Chains A and B, each alone.
Chain A
């Protein structure tokens, strides 16, 4: 899910930037440092949308650098266990398939694909039902449920399932619908 949240960060600024454009410099540096990063706690920082408050700077002894506490609003993407979302299939193999929902990768193991779907190898590897009516391949859009997340300091990776009611394919790139 995407969220709009307020985060805080201590920004260090070199003395050469102290002047009328200090705030601009601070904001530009904040965007450069924070956007595109990922933390286990807050998820992926997609975009900073505003700066709420720049606190009083503290001069660091010996270096002349100043640390400013900055409060900023941003859009983050944070997947949760139990969340249901839509994703695009990026790779299919006999172990299962990978899908992407925005910045996050989700793996769906073949144990979590309905039993009536079989893996078919070939030019376009896919999972197909025995009657051929449903096919999951690269670029398919699927609705899945996240059942596990692995979080480390700079990355979030998810495990998903499509073996439940109202989950599975939403659109099939092969079929003209």
Chain B
């Protein structure tokens, strides 16, 4: 084991999630809920003899989870959340963490997504506050 080049340790707080996942598209829970619901309906159509109970345990658990923890239910609202957040030059992973957890204050947002702090994208609270405010408005008018 010794002497082998080891991969840099992963740490989502510093966006160290590996090359492959950095380039990949992240999904918010509410987006996953829509995708899985769609897939579930497709499966039911395909086999009339109750083929839907053939879904894997992983699928079932994920579906239960995203249904329970989706902040936004309405597909239009879900699209708006992504649109709104993409205006703030966030990384995909940050965008989805914010969309999933919906922090109330700038302090909370920085605690949950520490990678917002360095780099000077969000100096002062105003810009974060505005972003969080935008998010809560979508929720209100959903």
> Which of B28-36, B74-82, B116-124, B130-138 forms contacts with chain A?
B28-36
Whether the Cβ atoms of B36 and A143 lie closer than 8 Å is no
- Is residue B26 within 8 Å, beta carbon to beta carbon, of the partner chain? yes
Chain B residue nearest to A104 (CB atoms) is B61
Whether the Cβ atoms of A47 and B97 lie closer than 8 Å is no
Distance to closest chain A CB from B73 (angstroms): 16
Whether the Cβ atoms of A166 and B59 lie closer than 8 Å is no
Chain B residue nearest to A146 (CB atoms) is B12
Whether the Cβ atoms of A47 and B59 lie closer than 8 Å is yes
- Is residue A101 within 8 Å, beta carbon to beta carbon, of the partner chain? yes
Chain B residue nearest to A44 (CB atoms) is B58
Whether the Cβ atoms of A78 and B21 lie closer than 8 Å is yes
For the residues of B in contact with A, the DSSP-based class is helix
- Is residue A23 within 8 Å, beta carbon to beta carbon, of the partner chain? no
Whether the Cβ atoms of A45 and B32 lie closer than 8 Å is no
**Number of residue pairs spanning A and B whose beta carbons lie under 8 angstroms apart:** 115
Whether the Cβ atoms of B35 and A75 lie closer than 8 Å is yes
Cα A45 to Cα B56 in complex, Å, equals: 10
Per-position binary interface string of chain A over residues 128-161, scored 1 when its CB falls under 8 Å from any chain B CB and 0 otherwise: 0000000000000101001000000000000000
Whether the Cβ atoms of A36 and B58 lie closer than 8 Å is yes
- Is residue A96 within 8 Å, beta carbon to beta carbon, of the partner chain? no
Cα A146 to Cα B112 in complex, Å, equals: 12
Cα A85 to Cα B66 in complex, Å, equals: 12
* B: interface residue count bin: 35 or more
Whether the Cβ atoms of B58 and A82 lie closer than 8 Å is no
Whether the Cβ atoms of B27 and A38 lie closer than 8 Å is no
Whether the Cβ atoms of B65 and A102 lie closer than 8 Å is yes
- Is residue A18 within 8 Å, beta carbon to beta carbon, of the partner chain? no
**Known contacts A2-B29, A36-B58, A103-B57; A49 and B35 CB within 8 A of each other:** yes
Show 6 A/B contacts (Cβ-Cβ < 8 Å), sorted by A: A1-B12, A2-B29, A45-B58, A46-B32, A84-B12, A164-B111
A residues with a Cβ closer than 8 A to B are 1-5, 35-38, 42, 44-47, 49, 75, 77-78, 80-86, 88, 100-103, 141, 143, 146, 164-166
15 additional contacts, CB 8 Å, given A47-B62, A80-B21, A103-B61?
A2-B29, A2-B62, A3-B26, A4-B27, A35-B59, A36-B58, A44-B62, A46-B62, A49-B35, A49-B39, A81-B9, A82-B13, A84-B112, A102-B65, A146-B12
B residues with a Cβ closer than 8 A to A are 9-14, 16-17, 20-21, 24-29, 31-32, 35-36, 39, 55-59, 61-62, 64-66, 68-69, 93, 96-97, 100-101, 103, 108, 111-113
